[in-house]
Each structure stands twice: as structure tokens, then as C-alpha cells.
A and B are shown apart, each in its own frame.
Chain A
């Protein structure tokens, strides 16, 4: 792409402006239909090619129609793999379209300034090989600024392209013969074939010769009302015919008769790769994205010997009109271990999300499931997959679910699933991302190492609320480990309830100060306390009191304060949440009855929503139970690399060694008492690759994405990760 459309137009010579107008408007009077010519060229008939050079007679049209129709029917199988996106720049009142993901990224992220999406998109194909034989290459010209144009022109008619090229070389620079492929309308009637939608062209009737290419007749009329001129074929002035995305009429439901079990000893004897496929549209950032939702099972096979390991249940969201070579695919999973991936699936960046109102507790439950304006579908296809022995995923005989209930066994099975999925869906060239939460970050570190050692490169990783080292979290290994890494979380939580003295006005500065105090003063004092039970001087205790709100007496009684005690002691008579300390409930109340108000608040809504959603929206039905949390955790093999409990920081470091281009985004909530944000930073600081790892923390708990203020910020940071990982390569 030239930078032309992004610089203000200069007043050009009259000759240039005239040429521009002639070039764009007269080009419509052309030769024979390139559509038919291409049809015959594709079929290898030199005679037909000769026909194509003269205007076909009505008789010839009929004679040629049949083979073209056959070609077009075969073409229906060629799914569009490009999306043409329209942009607008208000200061010059110019419109611009592009199907290039690279150009779209430059426009979207502001590298090329001033352009915003109009919401107009239509589908197309990237190359002749990807397109049906009837599709036409679309050429692109750039109107030179020195000719007073600074605008682009597109045509799906080869003769029109040639005409502009030969007649107006000075004003219109030929940029490319095929920026995308699309069907062309009938030259006389402007009619588009079935399964395609007319694209109208309007011309601004000004010297700068800007054009719009729009799908909607209403939009075209609006532009005509502003003095723009329709240009094209037939009475409706049609210039292209865009393939229509698949719609709900194409849905394929699945009634799965299999009964799935999450019992340790359960396994399936046989399994089919079967899924329901439904078609939907989500609007993200003002742009509608048509997508397919695929819900069902895929048998993961051991890459070493092809042996079936497990039938994984997954829901994949795949945007229509994207090129598998450049479109990222992201695998999401929760943790536990033993948790299905319902939390990320219905809470974070999928096309639907539950409106929780967290940290508020006032919304009626179950929560409403709504379209997710912060979905990641604008940058990546999304695959939510349940671990074996959770959700509807089950081992295949002779394995049992328990075969895979271990750190290494589980990660190896996930690798098998991902490799099987990529191969089965033609996605082996797609940039590959992992997005795990909690124990899912443990899984990610081990899995990333396995993938990189095996020769499959990852593009990026999102660590959502990490527990990379079970030996550093004093809420997990209770009694012996230092809780110093929790102190900044206690302080953030105390400040949330206005218990810090004095109340901090600058929360970021306050956190930095507490983090420094934790490292320099509290951590050494805790180490001394754990070794000798000696307490530090009262100044340290006073500081702990002032930054957390926990009284001095409680610190003296329990100097290495753990998160369980903090939940109960911050406010007497009130239990604050483990997963989100901002959610609280009176002791004895229903919300507090299960030990974590923030979990009790949301868990019923998630577990009830997934069943209805799978059945009603995704048209996947099954006779058994979808288990959001199995009992895998009680018999899990936590050993890893010679330790009884996993420390996976070396695994992540190994993955980064084998693939230094791998980008990692670590995300935590300031108010998460399960995986404290500062401990995550300490764990990651062991890896000396500062350029590879970004750390972002937000207001919120374990599931930062539930917070309506934090979710868009996290989305923006995740989006930036993808941009950095996939790169600016065209």
C-alpha cells in the first residue's frame, strides 16, 4: 500500500483531475466480459479465449452459460478467505477499502493516522487459487497526489483495469492487478449470481475522485443525496458481487447420543469427530464479524504413534472471510485442575459473555448472556477446550480419565489435541496462541515447552492469573511458605474498603510503595519469623496496619498472614472473596456460606448458562452431564521435573529459549487472593528475558475480565500482544 490515502490531497493540475474523472467513469465502457473469458481460460480452451475478445452475442451468452454455471456451483465450496473493510478519514472526506490484514492492522492501530472503520465490510478471496474459477481479480490504482487525487480506485473488470492503466498512467498509478478476488456482475443487467450480494460504487463527483464501494442500497442512496454519483452496471450500478457469509440457514445441529463421564476410571471405547456448526454475527469495534461456532468432539491422537488418547470437547469460533495463513487461532482453557473451560468461555473474550456486575452483588441471578463487544474474535479465532475428565471431554480406552490427571500427562494430551485440531482444520500455518487461567497457566508453561521442543512454534501466550510455581504460593502450600508476595494484594484490598491509613489518593503509587516494602522489609522479617518466631520492631507492624487495615494485634498473632485469614480478618463479621476480594458478604449469609462470596456469586450462573447455550444457541445436545468441576484435583499427579509440586518457570524459560520470538502477556487482578499479582511478577522475574514478557494488572480478582472497566483494558493489551507477536509483516 502506498501511503497516499493517508496524506492530505494537494491541488493538482486540471489535466490530472480531468484524467481522473475520465479514467474512473469511462472505463465502464469496455470489451467482452472478462467474467466469461476467465471462465473459459480456466477451463483451458484457447477458442473460448478468442471469443472473449469480442462482445458475446446473446446466443453465445446462452451457450457459454452452462459451463460457467457448473464452475460457479463448484465454486460454492471455496469459502471466502478475505474480508474487505471500509475506512473513512474525515479531514479529507475520503473512503478507502482494503482486504489486506496488514493494511487493516496499520489503519486500526493508528500507525496510519486518521482512519476509522465505517462498519462496511464484505467478503472476498485472497488469491485465484483460493477463489472459485468464476471470481475476478480486483485491480487497484492509486490516484497520485500531484494529480490532485490521493485516492484509490478498484475494478473487478480486467478490461477496465487495462483501460485506466493505458489511458491515465500519469494520474492513476497501477498498484496491483489482484488485491483481492470477487465475483463480477452481469455486464448488461448488473445482476449478481445467487449466493452473492451486489456491491455498489459511488463517485464523489469532485476533483479528488474518491469512490465508495458499499453493500447497502440505502447507503448508496444516502451518498447520492450528498451529490455522489452511482457508477456501475445495470440499473442499480453494480460493480462487484460479494460472496455472502453463511447464515443460520446453513446451521447443522448435532444430537450426540454419547454419555460422557468425568469419573477417574471412565473411558470411551469409540468416538466420532462430530460437531454442530452454527452461524452467527458479532459486532466488535463497530464492525460486524460473521462467524461459525463449532461445538463437538475431536479425538486427540498421540503425535508419536497416532494412538487415540481422548475425545476432547471444544467450542471453536471461526470468523468467516479470514485467511488461515495469517489469522491467529487461540486455545483457551481454565485450570483447577479439574475445571471445565466455562469461565473463560462465557466470561472473557468469546462472542458471548455473562453480565455479572462484579464486584457488585445486586444483579439478579442467573446472569444474562449477551453479545460480547470485547470479544477477541476481531483478532483471532477462538477455541475453548475442556480438559480430559471435565465438561464433556473423556479419555479413550485403554486410557482412563485418570491416565491424564497429572501435570505432564495433561499437558501432553493438550498438545495432542492442539496438533490434531490444527491439522484437521487446515490451520497448521496459523499464528498459534495459548490462553490459560490459574492452573491453566501451569498447563501453558509445560505445554509451551512441549510444543517448542516438538517443533511447533507458538506466537504468543496469555497467562491469566498465574500459578507458575506451586512452591511460591503460601495460600496453596500453607504453613511453611512466606506470604510476603500477598502483601500488595492485601493492601489493594484494604484500600478498596477504605481501610488503609491514610487512604491513598494515588493507588498506583501506593501499590509501588507496598511492593517495595514487601521486598525490602516484610519478606526478610517473615523469613526470620518462620525460622525463629521472632517479630520485628513495632514500626514494621505499624506499617502493615496502615497499609492493609489489619490491626497490629492480628499481625503480632499471625505475622505471616495467609489469604484465608485475611478473608476473615479484614472486616470482622464479613467474609471477603478469595477470587475477588472486592466481593464481600456478612458471615452466615448465603453468599458467604461456601467460603468465597465471589465464587458463590457467579458459579451457578456459569454452570446453568453453558447447558442452555450449547443446546439452544450452538445446537449441540447430549444426554449426560456437563461437569464444570470434576474431582480430578484430589487425585492429580502434581509431580513435575523431580519435584512433588510443579515449578513451571523453567518450562516457560525453555520455551522462550527455543523460540525467542514468543511473546508472553501476564495478567493479574489487584484483588485476587488466589494468585496474587505481585507473586506472579516475582516468579516471572526469574526469567531474564525482559523483552519477551509483558506484565499487566487490573482492578479485579482472579477473573479480571468480569470487571466492566478492566475487560476493555485487558482486551486492548491482549490485542497489542497479538499485534506484536504476529508482527507487521505484510
Chain B
């Protein structure tokens, strides 16, 4: 087993070691040489990304509002007719399975279309903090 000697903070060298070791091993791999290992960095990000100033994290009520904003954005993206409501098929086409599988319960009035407020009401009744 070849131990890749790397600087624990330079992943580029890890990659080089992997390639070199793999080439050295070739096809005739002995029983114990069929795995590669290097120093683990998790969690780690490349230095250039560390400048990415993270947004102030939302918590509590702000996070609840953030969750609602995201769900509403997904809903609106699925509403290709800009009708303010979705049919079962539109929800399915957009991959909103959570609406599809509960469509009849969300669509309590049986109109064949659900508004985001209907979805929200259903999730709340289901116990969601929304």
C-alpha cells in the first residue's frame, strides 16, 4: 500500500499522488494494493471560496418565512400558465410529488386545481410549522 504523502491542506497534490500511485500499480494489483487513501479534509473548501461571504443565516420566524418562500417559488415555477393554481398534472410535471400524492386532500373543494394557500393550509393541518 502506498501512502500518499501530502500536505493536508493542498488537495491538488492529493490528486497528483492518486494518479501517480495508480500508474505505478498498473494492472497487476496485489491483493492489498487495490485501494487508495489520502488525508481526509472534510469539511474543507478551496481557499478562493472562503471569500464567499455567507448570508446571515435565518433562524426561527425568519427561517420559517424562508422555507415558505422556497416552497412558494417552486410552486410558482410549476405554474406555467400563471394561473395562481396548479392542476395535478402540472404538479407532477414539476416534480412536486408532495402535492401530487395529497392532491385530493389539498383540493378540499374538489376543483381540480390547488392554490399555494391550499397547500399551506394542508401542511399546517398536517402539523407543519408554516
Contacts and interface: CB of A to CB of B under 8 A. Distances in A.
Interface of A: 262, 303-304, 334-337, 339, 342, 438-439, 442, 452-456, 467, 469-473, 475-480, 579, 593-596, 599-600, 603-604, 606-608, 610-612, 615, 622-631, 633-634, 638, 641-645, 647, 649-650, 653-654, 656-658, 660-661, 674-675, 683, 685-689
Contact of B32 (A334, A475, A612, A625): A612
A594 B44 contact: no
Contacts of B52: 638, 643-645
Contacts of A303: 95
Closest 5 CB pairs of A and B: A455-B97, A471-B54, A644-B52, A607-B37, A595-B8
Interface string B10-27: 011011001000100101
Given A634-B11, A660-B127, A688-B64, A627 B35 contact: yes
B31 A615 contact: yes
A455 B42 CA distance: 31
Interface in B55-92: 55, 57-61, 63-64, 66-67, 70-71, 74
Contact of B59 (A476, A654, A685): A685
B29 interface: yes
Contact of A607 (B22, B27, B29, B36): B36
Contacts of A337: 42
Contacts of A661: 127
B39 A603 contact: yes
Interface of A is mostly: loop
A644 B53 CA distance: 8
B128 A658 contact: yes
A674 B123 contact: no
A290 B125 CA distance: 43
A198 B5 CA distance: 58
A657 B7 contact: no
A625 B29 contact: yes
Contacts of A660: 126-129
A634 B15 contact: yes
B18 A438 contact: no
A337 B45 CA distance: 10
Contacts of A579: 40
A608 B40 contact: no
Contacts of A641: 70
Nearest to A654: B67
Interface of B: 1, 3, 5-9, 11-12, 14-15, 18, 22, 25, 27, 29, 31-46, 49-50, 52-55, 57-61, 63-64, 66-67, 70-71, 74, 95-98, 100-101, 123, 126-130
A442 B45 CA distance: 13
Contacts of B11: 631, 633-634
A443 to B, nearest CB: 11
Contacts of A623: 27, 29
Nearest to A607: B37
B40 A339 contact: yes
A650 B63 contact: yes
A477 B54 contact: yes
B83 to A, nearest CB: 21
Given A439-B43, A594-B5, A629-B40, A686 B95 contact: no
Contacts of B66: 650, 653
Nearest to B38: A629
Contact of B37 (A475, A595, A603, A657): A603
A455 B101 contact: yes
A35 B55 CA distance: 70
A93 B71 CA distance: 58
Contacts of A622: 34
A595 B43 contact: no
A183 to B, nearest CB: 40
B18 A630 contact: yes
28 contacts: A339-B42, A342-B35, A439-B43, A453-B74, A453-B97, A470-B54, A471-B54, A479-B50, A594-B8, A594-B39, A596-B40, A608-B1, A611-B35, A629-B14, A633-B44, A638-B49, A644-B49, A644-B52, A645-B45, A647-B55, A656-B128, A657-B129, A660-B127, A660-B129, A674-B42, A674-B43, A685-B59, A688-B63
B95 A453 contact: yes
A579 B53 CA distance: 26
A685 B60 CA distance: 8
Contacts of A631: 11-12, 14-15, 18
Nearest to A685: B59
B29 A645 contact: no
B3 to A, nearest CB: 6
Contacts of A471: 54-55, 57
A627 B128 CA distance: 42
A335 B43 CA distance: 8
A686 B63 contact: yes
A686 B39 contact: no
B67 A657 contact: yes
A610 B35 contact: yes
B126 to A, nearest CB: 6
Contacts of B8: 594-596
Contacts of A454: 95-98
A479 B46 CA distance: 14
B130 A611 contact: no
Contact of B43 (A600, A610, A675): A675
Give the interface centre of B1, B40, B63 by most chain A CB atoms within 10 Å: B40
B40 to A, nearest CB: 6
A266 to B, nearest CB: 12
B31 A477 contact: no
A625 B54 contact: no
A364 B124 CA distance: 56
